[in-house]
Amino acid sequence: MIMQSTNESSNSTVDALKDALRYLGDASYAILPEDVAHRLAEFKKSLLGGMRCVIDKDIEWIEARVAGGDRLREEWRQRRSTQETSETAGEGI
């Protein structure tokens, strides 16, 4: 019962903060002329879309480097295995 009350209290505080931030965000556009508010919003969305594109490319680059690292590590492992096999074969003579 006490735990539920604490969770409800936390949720209501978070909800109140979200509502306040939402109101401030709405007001920040409401004080602008309508056409300016819409152009500003389009500019911000375009900017964020560009950032998303850059981030997506960076993520792709990271994934490719990790895959390349895995491939290179496997090549090194195979070379080492081949060298150890040839060294072991030469010891018997």
What string of pLDDT tens digits covers the 93 residues of the chain? 555 666 777 889 999 999 999 999 999 999 999 999 999 999 999 999 999 999 999 999 999 999 999 999 999 999 999 988 887 776 655
b/e 63-82 (16+ beta carbons within 10 angstroms → b): eeeeeeeeeeeeeeeeeeee
pLDDT for the residue 2: 54
pLDDT for the residue 31: 98
b/e 13-51 (16+ beta carbons within 10 angstroms → b): eeeeeeeeeeeeeeeeeeeeeeeeeeeeeeeeeeeeeee
pTM for the model: 0.56
Amino acid identity of residue 45, one-letter, is: K
